[in-house]
Structures are given as C-alpha cells and as structure tokens.
Amino acid sequence: NAGVMQNPRHLVRRRGQEARLRCSPMKGHSHVYWYRQLPEEGLKFMVYLQKENIIDESGMPKERFSAEFPKEGPSILRIQQVVRGDSAAYFCASSAGLGASYNEQFFGPGTRLTVL
Amino acid sequence: QKEVEQNSGPLSVPEGAIASLNCTYSDRGSQSFFWYRQYSGKSPELIMSIYSNGDKEDGRFTAQLNKASQYVSLLIRDSQPSDSATYLCAVPDDNRLAFGKGNQVVVIP
C-alpha cells in the first residue's frame, strides 16, 4: 500500500502530557501538510513541510506545537503539554509538488487525539 | 487568505436521484479546484480535480467550473446510499488547501 500512513490512529493523553503524531507520505511524494479538524468544524491548515524544511507554519499555534520532517523517517507533529482543546482529528496529506500536480493532496487516515 | 463557501445545509436525496452541490470561492485567480468526500469518522478522499472551465465527468460524478462566476459544483448522478457523506470543496491557497465547511449528503433508499 503506497498511500499516506499515519500512526497512531487513536491517541489518548492526559492534560499536560505530550502527543507525538507520525506521518509517512505517499511513495514518491516529498511534500507533507498537516491539518486539524475539530468536531463539527472544517479542515484547518497547520503546517507545510518538505524534507528537513518547514516551509509554512502559519496555521500552527506558536506555543506547544512543533513539526519536523527529517531526512530519514516520518514527519512528526508534536504537541507539548496538551489541553482538552487539542482534542481533534489530525490529518496528514502529501503531494508530489506544487508544479507537478496542481497541488493535489492525498490524505492519510488521521490520528484522533483525545485529551482527558 | 482565500475563502471557500459551501452554504447549503444537509442535502437529502432519494436513491437514484441527482445530488447537486455548489461551492463559491473568493480569489478570481484560482486555477485548480478539488472535491473531497469524507465519510463520518474517516479522512477526506479526493474524488475530483478540475482546472478548466466547463464540465469534467468521472463515473457518476460531474464537476462543473465557472471561473467568471467563481463557482464550482459537483453533481452525483444515480445517487447511492454509499454516497452518503460530507463533500468538501477545496482551493489551493499558497502552500495549503483552503476548504469549505462541507455539505452533508444523505441518500435515502
């Protein structure tokens, strides 16, 4: 299966703990995007990364949230000191590139984060 | 920041009928448009991309783009219960996709 992979699919954390969400892009894709979807709300962009570079993090909260896409391994979205408001579905998407495919983005299955 | 509007409320259609969904966007310079389907509790799935004015057909789905009026629509012909989902319209906005809030479609057997 060459689709976008995310793990874990479900993650439960207590307030104050850290959450680490992982995403492996589709084979052949080098662009990774993270989106958040709150219950009954739309998808909101968080961050766009290429290998070893954060290209656009304008949608990500300045505090407690960080993202990386190392040379080797998956992209990671990290949320420190989680609060109940962080409970949401976090989706990763990947694309082949802005010019090559008109920014068609393919989504992974998501990680559903629940903060107790 | 580009805005994408999907204003219709939930749409109920009888099985076999045509479901029609509309989406308007704010940036006249937008060049590509996408429709995603999202089943409850699942991730968005790309079902249609359209780049040129006019119609694009793929199976039972037809996307219609009118750049002058800044709207893109999705028609689902011969609607099936399996089409019951939320349909999201999306437009590239710099390095991201800007999504509408979605239209829920319920196909009644």
- Of the candidates A113, A96, A2, A93, the residue with the CA atom closest to the CA atom of residue A43: A93
What totals of helices (H) and strands (E) does chain B contain, helices first? 0, 11
Residue A97 sits at the chain B interface (C-beta within 8 Å): no
Q: In the β-sheet with B54-58, what is the strand arrangement from edge to edge? A: B4-5, B19-25, B71-76, B61-66, B54-58
Residue A70 has pLDDT above 80, yes or no: yes
pLDDT surpassing 80 at residue B20 = yes
Q: What is the mean pLDDT of chain B?
A: 93
Per-residue pLDDT, averaged over A23-29, amounts to 93
Amino acid at B87: Y
- Taking residues B30-48, what's their average pLDDT? 94
Q: Which of A83-87, B48-52, B57-61 has the lowest mean pLDDT?
A: B48-52
pLDDT tier at A101 (50, 70, 90 boundaries)? low
Q: Does A74 touch chain B (CB under 8 A)?
A: no
Mean pLDDT estimate for chain A? 92
Among all residues of chain B, which has the CA nearest to that of A109? B43
3-state SS assignment for residue B83: helix
Token readout for B103 is: 């239209």
> Do A102 and B44 count as a contact with CB atoms less than 8 A apart?
no
Chain A residues touching residue B33 (CB < 8 angstroms): none
Mean pLDDT of the B52-71 span: 93
Rounded CA separation B14/B105 (Å) = 11
Q: Sorting pLDDT into bands at 50, 70 and 90, what band is B95?
A: confident
CB contact (8 A) between residue A103 and residue B43? no
CA A5/CA A73 separation, integer angstroms: 12
**Rounded distance, CA A20 to CA B72, Å?**
37
Q: What is the rounded distance in angstroms from the CA atom of residue A99 to the CA atom of residue A56?
A: 17
pLDDT at residue A100 tops 80: no
B95 touches chain A (CB under 8 A): yes
The whole-number pLDDT of residue A40 equals 75
pLDDT over 60 (residue A1): no
pLDDT on residue A8: 97
Contact A107 B44 (CB under 8 A): yes
List phi, psi (to 5°) of B77: -90, 155
Query: A81-97: per-residue pLDDT in tens?
Result: 999 999 999 999 999 87
Mean pLDDT: which of A1-5, A35-39, B68-72, B84-88 is highest? B84-88
Rounded Cα–Cα distance for residues B76 and B84 (Å): 11
Distance CA B33, CA B101 (A): 15
Query: Any long-range contacts for A66-74 (C-beta under 8 Å, 24+ apart)?
Result: A67/A34, A69/A32, A74/A5, A74/A22, A74/A23, A74/A24
Among A62-71, A81-90, B90-99, the range scoring the smallest mean pLDDT is B90-99
The whole-number pLDDT of residue A98 equals 61
Q: Give the DSSP letter of residue A73.
A: S
Q: CB distance from B101 to chain A under 8 Å?
A: yes
Which residues between 9 and 48 in chain A have a beta carbon less than 8 angstroms from any beta carbon of chain B? 33, 41-45, 48
